[in-house]
Structures are given as C-alpha cells and as structure tokens.
Chain A
Amino acid sequence: MGAEHELADALLAAAREAGIDASEVTGLRQLSGGASKEMWAFDLVTAGGTTIPLVLRRQPAGRRFSSQGLPSVAAEAALVRLAEGVGVPVPSVAFELAPGSAAGDGYAMARITGETVGGRVLKLPELEQARAGMARHCGEILARIHGAGGYEPLGLRQIGAHEELAALEERHRLTGHDRPVFEFALRWLKGRLPVERARVLLHGDFRNGNLMVGPEGIRAVLDWELAHVGPPAYDLAWLCVTSWRFQRPDLPVGGFGTREDLIAGYEAAGGAPVDRAELHAWEVFQTMNWGVMCAGVAEAFLEGSRSIEAGVIARRASETEFDLMRLLAPDHEAWNVR
C-alpha cells in the first residue's frame, strides 16, 4: 500500500532527524484507530543491525486535533518525557514527528507489552502479585506526577475546583435532559467541594484501563492527553470512581485496592496529606463527571452520531446516578426495601 510506504518513509526521516542512526522501518501495522488518533506498531532497524520495537501515536495530517489538555499530540511527548524524568513508568519517547511531517502530528514510543484492559487486570491469575501492591504504587506514581515541576512551557489548561464545578454544571445543562439525581449531587457539591490548597500537574485520566500491568506491577501509565493543572484530589478520586472498579466494586481503588493503601503510597512518596472528606467530595464530583460524559453521548446520538456502542454508553449514565446515591445517602432506609 502506497500510504503505508509513505508513512514508513516519514518515520525513517523523523527518526534520523532525531539523531537515531536508522536504516529501515519494518513491520509497520495499524493497532487501533480512534476518531482522531491512530496507533501503529513498527520496528526501527539501526545501521548497526539492532531492532527497536516502537509504537507511533499520531493524528494524520489534515485531521483536527481534539483534546482538552494539550496543544498537539507531539506536545504529549514532552509531557511523557517530563513524567519519566520524575520516575513515573511510561513508554519512553523515541522521537517526535516534526511539525509539517507527512506522517502527521505525533510521536514514537517504546513498544512494551502488558495488560491494559481493566477487567482483565483484575482477573488474570498471573497478575495476582501485581494487584496486591498496585493501590500503593498508584499513590506513589500520582505523588511523583503531582510533585513535578517544569510543566509551565507546555501550555496546559489550569482549572481549579470552583471552575471545574461550574463547567460540570454547564455540561450537564447542555444535555438538556432533566436529571434530579445530578441536581442533587450538584447542590451537595456546591456546599462541599473545597477550594484546593495547591494546583499541581495532573494526569487527568488516571484509572484502571490506562495502566499497563505485568506480573511484577505497573509497567506504564498511558493516555496523557487529558493532562492539565488542578487540584491533586482530581486524580486520586478519578481512580476511585465505581465504574473503573469493573467486577470488584468492593475495592475502591480501581477494583484492586484500598483507599488506605493509595493514600499511604501517596503520602510516603511526598504527596501532600490527603483529606478524606475532600477526597470523598471529589469522588462525588468525578462520578458525576463520568455520568455527564455518558449523558453527552446520548445527546450526540440523538443529534445524529448514531452507533450501537453510543446507544449503550448513553444508557450508562444511570450507573453513575446509582453510585451517586450510594455516596450521598448510603444509610437511607430506601436501600433496605426491595
């Protein structure tokens, strides 16, 4: 295929431009293609005959960049490098595509293996050992991300608790669908979501499903495109949202661990002391945040973005309403009635 030849050539040129003594690109194949971003696997053969297994994450030329966080896919590479510099496990960045590259906007990173599917991370027997230490390790990783400096030149979005809540309410209103449970949660949050003591670098989508896991533990944190600057509890709480616990709702941290382990790891690695009431308030926020995302899919569906997947995701908004009521009124007697 001509297009693949062109992409291989562009990759070879980009690798050489980055100072890698590359002689050939082989085994190029597409792994996944979302609405805007694609992932490609390939091998870079060096002049010395070494083979480097890599993955390209890119947006083809001519497609509009869609991210709430970073200005471009290539800009993500700078963030991943920064994270690696503070000891966060990531797939190392090999090279970026130069602006205007025929291959589009993106970067190549180390091709590593491991399990990323949330439900399988919780079920696979060979990951049992990994699961035991994962909540604490997540805490340590988040403390390192949150403690990182030097992100200022990346031009990340900065958003505090107050603006987050206003934006959440606005997004809910835009769905045009009356949801008394979301109103109830918003009213609760307005009285209780505390203003953050500090704003830090956030991963923005840190959850089971975005972690690559091997038998020894977390191998890499993936999907950095929602990174921004804001309250530390934003990341800690998103990891605890019930929907990301898959088959193990009893284990609040990703379905694999406890909040106590998460917080212990976070504080031991230098994270600011975590206030449990603040974490709880952010769990309410993040649960509704996921719910509003599902509700948004429903509106998009009705406006014509129809697919069977969208139809089913749209009907997942109610799971967050259930989780919100469990969080906001756990002891109400209505739960005891059939």
Chain B
Amino acid sequence: MFDRPSPSLLIAEARRALEGGVAPGFPQKVVANALGIAQRQLEMGPALEEEERTRLVDLLGPEEDLASLNGRLAVAIRSASIDAEEPALINHLIRTTVAKLEIDQPAYPAFRAWRGSKPDQA
C-alpha cells in the first residue's frame, strides 16, 4: 500500500506550483520529483499492490481490501500474534518496502547500492 499524498494530490500540487512559477534549480527538481512519483505509481502501482495483496492473503487468510489487510498485519505484529521471526512475514515486509521505493524514490542511494550489488538474473 503506497503512502500519501496520492498521485492526484501530488499532481494537483505540482500544477499549483507551476501556475505560481517555479524557480530553476532545486525548486524545479522538487516538482519533477513529485510528478515522477505520481507517474510511477499510476504506471506500476496497481500491479505491485496486487502482488502485495496476494502475499497478505497468504499470511493472514481471507481476502479483503488492501487497507484492511495492512491494518490486520499491523495489529498482528503489534500484538505478537504473528511470529516476528516468521520468514514469510519478513519476506513480505522486504518485498513491500522494495515496491514502495520503486515508486517513491528509485534513486535513493542505499536502494541503488543494494540494486547494484544484487546477483545477476539468470
């Protein structure tokens, strides 16, 4: 489940900034970043969220919408009703986090470094 603000809010804010005039350099980069997040989420978000939902159903059972599944997972971790060492749980958290970075910040240096150090795909 991706974070807020939603793509439409990011686009609205970028548009508002552009209407007001954006200085070159860093301020322009910020607007471009916001639009990049929105674009990536619109393009890749639905498929990534479907994968996330499938993993959550495997972990927690009966399917619901993504928000309630995430709510249930949060409660399960907090109340220790799920084993914190459970490999499937950690697998889900890592996969979901990687998906979020794909959308939010694929250029985050630590993310890029991990990417670059990964074994080549067969």
Residues of A within 8 A of B (CB): 177-181, 183-184, 186-188, 242, 245-250, 295, 298, 301-302, 306-309, 311-312, 314-319, 321-323, 325-326, 329, 332-338
Contacts and interface: CB of A to CB of B under 8 A. Distances in A.
Given A180-B77, A315-B3, 11 more contacts: A245-B110, A247-B109, A295-B3, A306-B13, A308-B14, A312-B37, A315-B105, A322-B100, A322-B111, A326-B110, A329-B93
Interface of B is mostly: helix
Contacts of B54: none
A323 B100 CA distance: 12
Q: Which interface residue of B70, B110, B113, B119 has the most chain A CB atoms within 10 A?
A: B110
B42 to A, nearest CB: 14
A253 B118 CA distance: 24
Given A177-B4, A187-B77, A334 B30 contact: no
A44 to B, nearest CB: 32
Interface in B60-82: 67, 70-71, 73-74, 77-78, 80
B70 A312 contact: no
B105 A319 contact: yes
10 contacts: A183-B77, A245-B109, A306-B13, A307-B17, A308-B16, A308-B17, A308-B30, A318-B100, A319-B111, A326-B114
B57 to A, nearest CB: 14
B34 interface: yes
Interface of B: 1, 3-5, 9-10, 13-14, 16-17, 30-31, 33-34, 37, 67, 70-71, 73-74, 77-78, 80, 84, 87, 89-98, 100-101, 103-105, 108-111, 113-114, 118-119, 121
A311 B34 contact: yes
A316 B30 CA distance: 12
A236 to B, nearest CB: 19
Contact of A178 (B9, B71, B87, B121): B71
A322 B98 contact: yes
Given A249-B110, A311-B13, A179 B74 contact: yes
